[in-house]
Amino acid sequence: MSIHMKSDVLLGLQWGDEGKGKIVDFLTPQYDIIARFQGGPNAGHTIEFDGKKFVLHTIPSGIFSEKATNVIGNGVIIDPYILQKEIMELESAGADVKGRLIVSSKAHLILPSHRLLDAVYEQWKGKNKIGSTLKGIGPAYTDKVSRNGIRVGDLHNDDFNKKYEAAKSRHLKLAKLYSNDIEGVEIEGMSFDDYEKVWFGSLPALKALKHLDTAYFLNNARAEGKKILAEGAQGTMLDIDFGSYPFVTSSNTTAAGVISGLGIPPSSVGRVYGISKAYCTRVGSGPFPTELLDETGEKLRAEGREFGATTGRPRRCGWLDLPALKYAIMINGVTDLMLMKTDVLNVFDTIKVAVKYRINGKETEEIPYDLNQTDIEPVFTELPGWKQSLEGITTYEDLPESLKNYIKFVEKETKVPVTVVSTGPDRSDTIFRG
């Protein structure tokens, strides 16, 4: 009888950038396979160890382990140019990317003309723009769903160029409907034509990787007793169905995305690690109930170095939002919480947490239908700060009492245990209570 191990999931509970990359890298020694299930190079997952820092966009965060296999699942969309840059950076740092990475033949490609469309759609939206990372995410997933996409497996077919030209011509027609100046659009600082050249130039790097039907690979691995960790990108509040629509990304960032993005059955999922900062951030437009537009928000940004890992944009900052966190825990069935960036709160005398929303004079813990149109006044509770450095603390017991109280408060409110407390960006600044 085969063992059929359970697969665990790690995903963001907020608006992304919770620290997923750091924790996936930290947990990798416990797993055989790390698999990305959705999103694309809109993600920026930071990993720091031994004084080095890497930001991964498409490649799973288990790539630094010599033992783990990393899988880019069918639910992910790939820009070969960005992938090639990542491979080169990792290889020059000594990681054997080709030996450790498998790509689903069913993953869709982001074409240069998807990026062009992303740019013109955002321009056209004007002040209502999403604040997209402009990586072509929306247009590439649109083509997938409208059954016009091109997949990694198509790279090996003779009609690839024909398919490419047909898609490009359709995209250019569309782009012209939205903009009179498509020649003026730059991609990665290049003209469309130049970007198209480097994009084609990067295809051999993608072709050189192992392409498989990863649903078979993953399920066979499970049958052999191998352990899989599914790595999410973005966060629950950016989910296409459950996030702050329309200010969301174009995939299911939630646990549902694991099933469709990897092809493993729901019954195979074991633990669901939900990752949250000890406060909130958001990059791009859209509603953010606990946002602080004052000097406290600036202090959070400065202390937390809150600038986007993919775009460098300043992240909007605010206090922890329990109604949103509880909602995310509900949607994902979170079994374990991971509380990140606790050290960023070291300097605050007191720490606020939103426990409810007040909408039209009524208190509620539920997220309203249209977060964007609703005037929400968060109802805060205030907890004492710890006003000390966390450097060198390696056990939960040694954490300051006020931080332990903060953690206990979050556990009591959410009814989920906090399994990881993160006290700094480095791999070693991690307290694991599992």
DSSP characters for 65-93? -SS-EEEE-TTBEE-HHHHHHHHHHHHHT
Neighbours of 226 (CB within 10 A): 16
**Under 8 Å between Cβ of 285 and 129:** yes
Choices 16-24, 66-74, 97-105, 142-150; region in contact with Mg ion by CB under 5 A: 16-24
Instruction: Name which of ligand GDP, Mg ion, ligand IMO, none residue 149 binds, using a CB cut-off of 5 to 8 Å depending on partner kind.
Output: none
Q: Is 45 a catalytic residue?
A: yes
Is 44 among the residues that bind Mg ion (CB under 5 A)? yes
* Catalytic member of 8, 32, 45, 336: 45
Name the token pair of 169. Answer: 């011509």
Min. distance of Cβ 429 from ligand GDP in angstroms? 6
Binding site for ligand IMO (CB under 6 A): 12, 15-17, 42-45, 130-133, 135, 137-138, 233-235, 238, 249, 283-284, 309
Q: At 224, list the tokens.
A: 């052999």
62 binds ligand GDP (CB under 6 A): no
CB of 17 to Mg ion, least distance (A): 4
What are the percentages of helix, strand and coil residues in the chain, rounded to 5? 35, 25, 40
CA pseudo-torsion sign 356, 357, 358, 360: negative
Q: Is the distance from CB of 106 to CB of 151 less than 8 angstroms?
A: yes
- The amino acid present at 89, given as its one-letter code, is E
Q: Which of 117, 100, 15, 93 is nearest to 61 (CA)?
A: 100
Q: Which of residues 1-60 bind ligand GDP (CB under 6 A)?
A: 12, 16-22, 44-46, 48
Shortest spacing between CB 177 and ligand GDP, in angstroms: 34
Position of minimal CB gap to ligand GDP: 46
Q: Which residue has the tokens 């606990």?
A: 290
Q: Which one of ligand IMO, Mg ion, ligand GDP, none is in contact with 340 (Cβ closer than 5 to 8 A by kind)?
A: ligand GDP
Interface with ligand GDP, residue 85, by CB under 6 A: no
DSSP state letter for 216: H
With tokens 């960790």, the residue in question is 229
Question: In whole angstroms, how close is the CB of 284 to Mg ion at the nearest point?
Answer: 12
Sole binder of Mg ion in the list 8, 17, 143, 321 (CB under 5 A):
17
Q: Measured from the CB atom, is 127 or 412 closer to ligand IMO?
A: 127
Nearer Cβ to ligand IMO (219/244)? 244
Nearer to Mg ion by Cβ, of 41 and 44: the residue is 44
Nearer to ligand IMO, 86 or 390 (CB): 86
Task: Specify whether 370 is catalytic.
Answer: no
Query: Contacts from 410-413 at CB under 8 Å and sequence distance 24+?
Result: 410/320, 410/322, 410/325, 410/337, 410/339, 410/353, 411/337, 413/322, 413/326, 413/355
For residue 283, the minimal CB distance to Mg ion (Å) is 8
Residue 414 binds to ligand GDP (criterion: CB under 6 A): no
Q: How many residues sit close enough to ligand GDP to count as binding (CB under 6 A)?
A: 22
- Euclidean distance between CA atoms 313 and 229, whole angstroms: 30
User: Which is closer to ligand IMO, CB of 56 or CB of 393?
Assistant: 56
Residues that bind Mg ion in the complex, under the rule CB under 5 A? 17, 44, 309
**Residues forming the active site:** 17, 45
